[in-house]
Amino acid sequence: MDKIIKSISLNGHFRAFALDSKRTVTEAQERHHSLSSSTTALGRTLIAAQILGALEKGDAKITVKVIGDGPMGAILAVSDASGNVKGYVQNPDLDYRRTSTGEVLVGELIGNGFLIIIKDMGLRTSYTGQVDLISAEIGEDLAWYFLQSEQTPSSVGVNVVLEENSDKVKSASGFLLQALPEATDEEISLMEKQIKAMPALSALSINEILPNIYGGMDYKILEESSLAFKCDCSKTRFREGIRSLGSAEITSMIEEDHYAEVICQFCGRDYHFSEAELNELILDSTEK
């Protein structure tokens, strides 16, 4: 089971999260049949969304959009405060590796563009923050967002490693370190050095991430909770979407195909509506 571990330094100056998201990214790869570069980019974005969701409470929904001018196209992930996330990449068929190391290319394929964060707290209006992509490697861009949009010095790591000569996910993990208002400049500088000295995320288990982040600083675990790829799509939701098209459009579907098929962009589930079901929707839309 994927999980997140939340912590805070004993002096209350820093908080840090550690995430194991292998199953999350594996399910996304399997659902979208994505190749190496697309899997890595989507996986990093899903982990970033899980980090953002973990900062919220209640029924909050967080949408992460990575919009670049490269062949990757748009990447979108939606998370909640309970650890659930869904997402897709516009082009799932990119497969580029640096042959000498096997490293998967991401930033060059995303290109220049924007990281957009939308927070829906269940109120009348949502909060939207946007920053330029500074590397398109996702982790650095999310840290830049925290600094620019929320004035919170942060370090973010999001890592997806694939099996050698395969598109299967070997590991997927992440971390967040944030300085809280009480942190001094000296402490922040010390933590920055600590982060730079950390081993690669791929070399650490989830239980090794926090000790490497804090170094000699004392901290305590606040909570451990589960993470998962989970889509909230349903036939009922898509039925309402078709009904909203109006009777003329639904009639056209019946005349042309005698049925309707809707595929969820986030998870790939296929929903079939028979001619009889479409006729019922026409009656519903006419009555209303």
pLDDT tens for 144-191 read 999 999 999 999 999 999 998 788 999 999 999 999 999 999 999 999
Q: Does domain 235-287 fall into CATH 3.60.21.10?
A: no
User: For residues 254 and 115, what is the distance between their CA atoms, to the nearest angstrom?
Assistant: 40
pLDDT surpassing 60 at residue 287: no
Instruction: Please classify residue 205 by burial: count the beta carbons closer than 10 Å to its beta carbon, then call 0-12 exposed, 13-18 middle and 19+ buried.
Output: exposed
Q: What percent of the chain has pLDDT over 70?
A: 97
24, 42 contact by CB (below 8 A): no
Round to whole Å and give the CA distance between 104 and 87: 20
Q: What is the pLDDT of residue 284?
A: 72
Q: What is the mean pLDDT of residues 72-82?
A: 97
State the pLDDT confidence band at 205, using cuts at 50, 70 and 90: very high
Helix 275-287 / helix 235-243 crossing angle, nearest 10 deg = 60
Domain locations along the chain: 2-229, 235-287
CATH code for residues 2-229 = 3.55.30.10
Position 105 scores a pLDDT of: 82
- The H or E element containing residue 214 is helix 206-214
pTM of the full predicted structure? 0.93
pLDDT in tens, 231-282: 999 999 999 989 888 888 989 989 898 888 999 999 999 999 998 898 888 8
pLDDT tens digits for range 34-75: 999 999 999 999 999 999 999 999 899 999 999 999 999 999
Provide the sign of the torsion angle of the four alpha carbons 91, 102, 16, 111, taken in this order: negative
Predicted local distance difference test score (pLDDT) of residue 167: 85
Among all chains, which residue has been given the structure tokens 């979108």?
76
Best CA proximity match to 231, nearest among 125, 110, 76, 56: 76
Contact (Cβ atoms closer than 8 angstroms) between residue 9 and residue 214: yes
CA angle 35, 1, 168 (to 5 degrees): 20
**Residue located via tokens 């006729």:** 279
